[in-house]
Amino acid sequence: MDLVYHEKQIGRMCAQHALNMLLQGHYFTPDSLASIARELDQREMAMLRDESQFQSQNYDESGYFSIQVITEALRRQANLHLEPLESPNVLKILQNPSLAYAYICHLEDHWFSIRKIGTTWFILNSLFKGPRLVSESFLELYITQLHAEGWSIYVIEGELPACAAETVPREFWNETRRTKKLESDIEKAIALSLNEAQPFIVTKTSDEELFGTATPVVSQAEELDIQRALEDSLREANKANSVRSAESLLVGEAIRNSVLDLNSSSSTSKQTNEDEEDPHNQQSCSSGYQR
């Protein structure tokens, strides 16, 4: 995976990491993004009558940058445009996410990117150990899940800069995915329940969990731990189905036995009534007894 450019999380610099991974190179620094943010602040202050009331929403000292800064940075560097996934202009992409070439996603001060490199999709999240290779079918499930979870998703429009990983044959990435034995388990889990399977999503957490010393349970878990958890989930689901099937068989058997008992009792009762009502039969029995 060294061919795919990846940056690991430092402080709250996820916007910088997301931009650099999207463009596949070290294009932006904290200073360059802060410079753009200050320019935007100046424009906004110029529109106010009382500048003393102004408070920047474009960046802060921790390293957070707004969507306005990200939009302007991509426009200047690569002439790229961001379109919200809910926009009517990208309705076809909302219906079929694999039609796009890249995304940038945001939730609760965290940014990450998704990009198609050559013919292969990668999730590029600075909270992960490295780039995550995914198939088109998984991408569609993943984008759907992010959207349902409340993430802001932006489609990247324009021509992305070329990168070295684009020359890698698709077969190499396919073999890499098979070797890891991760994605198939994730796809099965998501197919069973989007609510239960969230292997790649950083859910709504505190700033400490996202950027502090605490380790996010989902976002920074080892891949093998994720795989084992998913396998356990699948086994539990199969076990539950087996239990329900066994219970159904027992109930069915009990009902059949009950019906047989009722039929047997009914037959015995009917025969008794017939014997009591037949005088000839009673007389014969009596005569036989006397003899």
Strand-pair category, 110-117 with 102-107: antiparallel
Residue 124 · residue 115 · CB < 8 Å: yes
In this prediction, residue 206 carries a pLDDT of 35
Which residues are annotated as catalytic?
A: 14, 110, 125
**Tens digit of pLDDT for each residue in 39-53?**
998 888 777 766 656
**Residue pair 136/98 in contact by the 8 Å Cβ criterion:** yes
| pLDDT at residue 186 greater than cutoff 90 | no
Give the pLDDT score at 22. Answer: 98
pLDDT above 70 coverage of the chain, percent? 55
CA angle 80, 82, 87 (to 5 degrees): 145
> Does residue 54 contact residue 42 with C-beta atoms inside 8 Å?
no
> If one looks up domain 14-174 in CATH, what number appears?
3.90.70.40
Q: What does pLDDT average to over the chain?
A: 74
CA end-to-end distance (rounded Å), the chain: 104
CB atoms within 10 A of CB 201: 17
